[in-house]
Structure 1
Amino acid sequence: MNTSIFIIGSSNTDMVIKTDHLPQPGETILGGTFFMNPGGKGANQAVAAARLNGKVTLICKTGNDIFGKQSIQLFEEEGINTQFIVSDDKNPSGVALITVDKNADNCITVASGANATLTPKDLEKATKEIAGAAIVLMQLEIPVETVSWVATFASANNVKVILNPAPACELPVTLFKNIAIITPNKKEAEMLSGISINDMGSAIRAANIIKQKGVGIVIITLGDKGALVVTDTITEMITAPLVEAVDTTAAGDVFNGALAVAIAEGLPVLDAVTFACKAASISVTRMGAQASAPHRNEIQF
């Protein structure tokens, strides 16, 4: 059975400070713990999938600098195939500044660096392998034009495309018909649908509007409540395990990495979402992005 997963997206270095509360404009806060670790949605999802025994290839673009070199070394230690990662001599590696408050809420500012220069041309040497993958998983911290090109190419080769539309932005209408599964959070679903989500009914309406754009399956992640799944025949809420959160920074990324593994292994969508919710619920009990991703043996499933 082909279970190979290609994750195409961003790689950043996260610089994180814990504080009592998130700063207001013009406010300076004396924070607590500082730590620096690898992040970026693409990289986070790749590590999450690899730790769950996924057969993962990551394609990203890093600067020819210490952050880029450290990231690649860490990916290789996680068992991720790095042969198609591109080095950019003109731009630095991406960096994210993250503040996390005592309620585990966060605010994030990203300097994209080399991530913003990942083009279809950078992917040409991997097209044969992409065409032979089971899953292609992408996000929106790389150019939308690149995401659209990959989705068109993968879909034409009968490869399932999962799009995590984060951070939220306008998407070309033609992209949706090439997406097998889309996984917006509440804010992203509101932007894609034009519906304000404040209860289950409005979440279902939003999911159906997004699905009508041509997507096969819509999964709206709703934080500690779980995830809403809408397909041609299913409208169901999968509840998340109850945990005490300390840092939600990479919860969505762990969810998506876990979902890709479960779908690649052939699990039905509701089982796959249940698996992803369990993985994400473990990640929020730990600090950090990639550091918070659980291993397969930690998930009771």
Structure 2
Amino acid sequence: MTEREREILTLISKNPLISQQDLADRLGIARSSVAVHITNLMKKGYIKGKGYIIRNEKYVTAIGGSNMDISGFPHNTFILNDSNPGNIKLSLGGVGRNIAENLCKLGIETKLVSPIGDDIYGLKIMEECKMSGIDMSHCLFLRDHPSSTYLSILNENGDMLGAIASMDILDKMSIDFIREKQHIIKNSRILVVDTNIPADTLYYIASNFKDVPIFVDPVSTAKALKIKDFIGLFHTIKPNKIEAETLSGIEINSNDDLIRVCDYFLEKGVSQIFISLGSKGVYYADMNTKGLLPPLDTNVVNVTGAGDAFMAGVIHSYMEGYEMKKQALIGSAAASLALSHENTINPNLSINNITKKLKELNL
């Protein structure tokens, strides 16, 4: 931000209805110059729109994948090399996008930075994300690339027989594009990223936005390797057991191993660690505390999306200034709500329902 832009923003903060002519008179410059400065402030994210609405200091930026998930479910036993009667379900996915939607449900203004193709799936992603309250104005829109799509075939028991992932568009999330969004990112309260985007872009983000707490979801064992060499640049990490082993090089077979792994990450520079242990709960650690939180009592309907809800719960808790155990509790309650609904994103996710869930469990 230039000094002149700072002067204009200060005056607008004191009087959001001030006219451009009044600003020009106060600063002793031409009205046309004021208009240029205001346009630049809007591009940089300091002003949200008409009426000089100042940006929300608490917005989160999510950088990562947005998918269209297509799933086929046969009515009866699946027969190979044949056409099987059944149902086909379309749903939005992508770790970064899922976290963004969960954050919106928790009342947090969220901007999504994700590559999206100019096709029918891209239009559906845009429409549904906007309906969910996600700010999509900073996404990368590409005419010559199909939207990220995941096609899966399941058997009569709901187990996957096979899948095809068409996600080449994620490789287009370049350093140059992220550089264009630096003003939005730098003014975020928190930045959350997934490892679907290229390794060099992840390194650029981690090394150039150190003033913003960066939360990372490793996504998978293979994709976690992208960040292994610079894991200490992230503020908060949320790996599962296998991802934690991959990132640390330490095998986890006991509570002592969990302590060793967390100490490894802390020594590297990570501030907060949440290791998902599936049916055994979540292990959390920072420089002051370590602990194991058992899984919450949950009627599991769908395991997809629990980790994304957990991350959203942790981010909300961190923004509220809660200590580690409470962050883990709220994250686990959000994950429990996700597990108890057939959709990847539980439409009933909210802070009120998280609080209600914890009260029911006397936590």
Please state which band the TM-score falls in when normalised by the shorter chain: 0.7 to 0.9
Does the C-alpha gap of structure 1 residues 13 and 172 become closer, same or farther in structure 2, counting only changes over 3 Å? closer
133, 140, 145: which one aligns with 1:79: 133
Alpha-carbon offset, residue 244 of structure 1:
2.1
Shift of 1:164: 0.9
Q: Is the 8 A contact 2:66 2:115 kept in 1?
A: yes
Match of 2:59 in 1: 4
CA distance in 2 between counterparts of 1:93 and 1:252 reads 23
CA distance in 2, matches of 1:100, 1:229: 34
Q: Distance in 1 between matches of 2:122 and 2:105?
A: 21
Which structure's relative contact order is higher, taking Cα pairs within 8 Å and 6+ residues apart? Answer: 1
Q: Secondary structure at the match of 2:292?
A: strand
Aligned counterpart for 1:55 among listed residues 86, 89, 109: 109
How far apart are the structure 1 equivalents of 2:172 and 2:290?
38
Contact 1:161–1:180, Cα closer than 8 Å, also in 2: yes
Match for 1:270: what amino acid?
K
TM-score of the superposed pair, with normalisation by structure 2: 0.74
**Alignment check: 8 A CA contact 2:186 2:212 kept:** yes
Partner in structure 1 of residue 47 of structure 2: none
2:262·2:285 contact (CA, 8 Å) conserved in 1?
A: yes
Contact 2:289 / 2:324 at 8 angstroms: preserved in 1? no
Cα pair 1:7 1:137 within 8 Å, conserved: yes
2:174 is aligned to: 119
The 5-angstrom pairing of residues 58-69 of structure 1 reads: 58-69=112-123
- Structure 1 residue runs without a partner (length 5+): none
The one of 214, 237, 247 aligned to 2:292:
237
Q: In 1, Cα distance between the equivalents of 2:70 and 2:307?
A: 18
Q: CA 1:273–1:18 in structure 2 vs 1: closer, same or farther (change >3 Å)?
A: farther
Amino acid at match of 1:166: V
Point out the structure with the larger helix share: 2
* Identity level (%): 23
Secondary structure (helix, strand or coil) at the match of 1:299 reads: helix
Partner of 2:71: 16
Check 1:291–1:99 CA distance in 2 against 1; reply closer, same or farther (3 A cut): farther
Report the Cα offset of residue 226 of structure 1.
2.1
Corresponding position of 1:249: 304
Alignment RMSD:
2.9
Equivalent residues in 2 for 1:30-109, closer than 5 Å? 33-98=87-152
Distance in 1 of aligned mates of 2:155 and 2:321: 38
| Alignment of structure 1 residues 262-281 onto 2, 5 Å | 262-281=317-336
Partner of 2:350: 295
Q: Which residue type is aligned with residue 165 of structure 1?
A: P
Q: Which amino acid aligns with 2:97?
A: A
* 1:280 CA drift (Å): 0.5
Tell me the TM-score normalised to structure 1 length: 0.88
> What corresponds to 1:203 in structure 2?
258
Structure 2 unmatched runs, 5+: 1-55, 359-363
